[in-house]
Amino acid sequence: VTLAAAQAKSEADVLSEFRATLRGPDPDGGPPAELNQWATGGAPCDGNATSWPRVRRCVDGRVVVLQLEGLRLQGAAPDLALLAPLRSLRSLSLSNNSLAGAFPDVSPLPALRFLFLWQNRLAGEIPDGAFAALRGLQRVDLSGNEFSGPIPSSIASSARLLSVNLANNNFSGPVPEGLRRLGANVQLQGNKFLCGDMVGTPCPPAPPSSSSASSSGGMKVLITIAIVVIAVGAVLAVAGVIAAVRARCNEPCYSGGIETLGDSPDAAKVKVTSAPAVKIEKGGTDQHGGATPAAGKRGGRRDDHGKLVFIQEGRARFGLEDLLRASAEVLGSGNFGASYKATLLDGPALVVKRFKDMNGAGREDFSEHMRRLGLLVHPNLLPVIAYLYKKEEKLLVTDYMANGSLAHALHGGTRSSLPPLDWPKRLKIIKGVARGLAHLYEELPMLMVPHGHLKSSNVLLDATCEPLLSDYALAPVVTPQHAAQVMVAYKSPECAAQGGRPGRKSDVWSLGILILEVLTGKFPANYLRRGHADTDLAGWVNSVVREEWTGEVFDKDMRGTRSGEGEMVKLLQVGLGCCEPDVHRRWGLEEALARIEELRERDTGADDSSTASSFLSDGEAAASRPAGEQQSHSA
């Protein structure tokens, strides 16, 4: 069976499951008859051709366009998370049906370019961040529904957006500024309560807040004086910081200029003349400031000499000068170098990571690789915003994630701002990690180890505990010796052997260790240091599992989880399947992802009324274990 055939088969299963959730017009409430073929097996795609109804386009054996229009679908919008395994799906239409209820969660389909839901009976407010995950969205049509409330601002967040049709709904309030750039490609007619110059109705002035309305004249004067005093203080403080930084920067410094590396072939060919010396002191704020001449072209070529090169479209630009003015804080010192949090004066908090000994690629190859990373768009990948190339070291700039890393959440105790992670959160994190990893495999097929450095401190958590992978795809710019020393996937069993080399499954091994870490709450490195040097985390888990099923293996912080123990056991199996030392018997990423996607917060058929339990007793767990499981664990 070829890989393409295996993928096609699994896409068939995905569509078949999705079909089962659809309600057509038939009185029995079953799926529309037109889709019956989806349930009879076969493959939706044969190469680039398709014979399945409503699968309109395939590429390389994968579904790209799904058009479920005019099927008289009833009931609530279907759960689009079921389509998440269709990794190549770019266009989805559920238009011209009778779907009712709320706007469906589209975040499980981050790669979607075209979304059509026109002419249904969908209603209610759309969450403001509903489209935030769809960073490559090009066209969206929600016209002819009953949506109300404000237009979600995230609808304009994709830099690739070409057209938006929201006509004939009940949207109200100001039209998001971000839609202005689309000009005539925004349809807003038939929404009586929208306002702003895009619809020709002025918005009412914001009502005065109750406190200011009630405050006395004397109070107003006091507030004004306080604001003036704070503002003057802030200006003096900023001036002081800049003066101090400049005074200390007595060597040639990074320039404050910025350059954008576009998508054009030329953009990757950055030519540099001389490299200025760089002074970066250990600890505290980097001392590398001081504006030097602005960016420009030399000899008709782009010059990224000592400047930040931006690789993300649609991001606000800033220079090293701005980073210098930012308040900075050391986040930690990793294997590559230190990371700093820098909060721009009037902008977001960023992370600047210094990479030393990253000499696996020359400047042009480095720039080309960064350009490729800049094209990656996925809700579970922390985007690299900008980089700076110096011979001696490189800087990568990313967003700062206020909830910190998964390592911190799991092992930081009271130092973590998060409460202990419960099972649903841990499952959500593992799903996101696996999806992010799968996206890297898909988008970077030329890399043997698409991530290479997957570990819990490189999994960052956003405000909703959605995980974002960081420090990925660095192998091409690191020397093999350095990779073997510091990168996690290069410590997998196949690499540890004399003359061993990483393979396509080395990242899967890291995923397995991460899963076991999440389930057991044990920190893999610490575990070894605590006197178990003969084994690793996977070996320990395996030995406990071989002897007898026991709740001991699971992190006690998950106690109180209702009815999810069977699902935890299934995830443990996935972890062990990924941690199989024999690389030939180790699971592939596709299999791991498919099994992870199947997992639910609660066991199937679990009794909701069951009391909060601790973990299964040995007897209960053994009874719930699928036959033959014990053998697979001992493999």
Ligand X SMILES: Nc1ncnc2c1ncn2[C@@H]1O[C@H](COP(=O)(O)OP(=O)(O)OP(=O)(O)O)[C@@H](O)[C@H]1O
List the one residue from 88, 93, 143, 405 that touches ligand X (CB under 6 A): 405
Q: Is 335 a residue that touches ligand X (CB under 6 A)? A: yes
Q: Is 398 a residue that touches ligand X (CB under 6 A)? A: yes
Six-digit token pair at 456? Answer: 């819990």
Residues touching ligand X, count (CB under 6 A)? 20
Q: How far is the CB of 408 from ligand X (least distance, A)?
A: 6
Q: Which stretch binds ligand X (CB under 6 A): 160-168, 249-257, 331-339, 596-604?
A: 331-339
Q: Is 380 a residue that touches ligand X (CB under 6 A)? A: no
When the beta carbons of 166 and 401 are compared against ligand X, the nearer one is 401
When the beta carbons of 331 and 622 are compared against ligand X, the nearer one is 331
**In the 3-class helix/strand/coil scheme, how is 448-512 assigned residue by residue?**
CCCCCCCCHHHEEECCCCCEEECCCCCHHHCCHHHHHHHCHHHHCHHHHCCCCCCCCCHHHHHHH
List the one residue from 7, 37, 50, 470 that touches ligand X (CB under 6 A): 470
Q: Closest Cα partner for 317 from 385, 369, 372?
A: 385
When the beta carbons of 351 and 421 are compared against ligand X, the nearer one is 351
Q: Which stretch binds ligand X (CB under 6 A): 395-403, 413-421, 442-450, 516-524?
A: 395-403
Q: Residue 408 has what DSSP assignment?
A: H
List the one residue from 50, 107, 285, 457 that touches ligand X (CB under 6 A): 457
Distance CA 143, CA 415 (A): 48
Q: Is 400 a residue that touches ligand X (CB under 6 A)? A: yes
Q: How far is the CB of 457 from ligand X (least distance, A)?
A: 4
Q: Are residues 329 and 338 in contact, defined by beta-carbon separation less than 8 angstroms?
A: no
Q: How far is the CB of 461 from ligand X (least distance, A)?
A: 9
Six-digit token pair at 401? Answer: 């994630």
Six-digit token pair at 360? Answer: 């696996």
Q: Which stretch binds ligand X (CB under 6 A): 26-34, 274-282, 435-443, 457-465?
A: 457-465
Distance CA 402, CA 444 (A): 28
Residue 234 parent element (H or E) = helix 217-248
Q: Which residue is nearest to ligand X (CB)?
A: 334
Q: Which stretch binds ligand X (CB under 6 A): 12-20, 213-221, 258-266, 394-402?
A: 394-402
Going by their DSSP bridges, the two strands 186-187 and 163-165 should be labelled as: parallel
List residues bridging with 387 in a β-sheet: 309, 396
Q: Is 331 a residue that touches ligand X (CB under 6 A)? A: yes
Compute how many other C-beta atoms are within 10 angstroms of the C-beta atom of residue 3: 10
Q: Closest Cα partner for 198 from 156, 240, 145?
A: 156
When the beta carbons of 63 and 468 are compared against ligand X, the nearer one is 468
Per-residue contact flags (x/-) with ligand X for residues 339 to 358, judged by CB under 6 A: x-----------x-x-----
The dihedral formed by the CA atoms of 601, 11, 39 and 73, expressed in degrees to the nearest 10 = 70
Q: Which of residues 434-453 bind ligand X (CB under 6 A)?
A: 453
Compute how many other C-beta atoms are within 10 angstroms of the C-beta atom of residue 47: 12
List the one residue from 460, 474, 576, 592 that touches ligand X (CB under 6 A): 460
The residues of the shown chain that bind ligand X, judged by CB under 6 A, are: 331-332, 334-336, 339, 351, 353, 398, 400-401, 404-405, 408, 453, 457-458, 460, 470-471
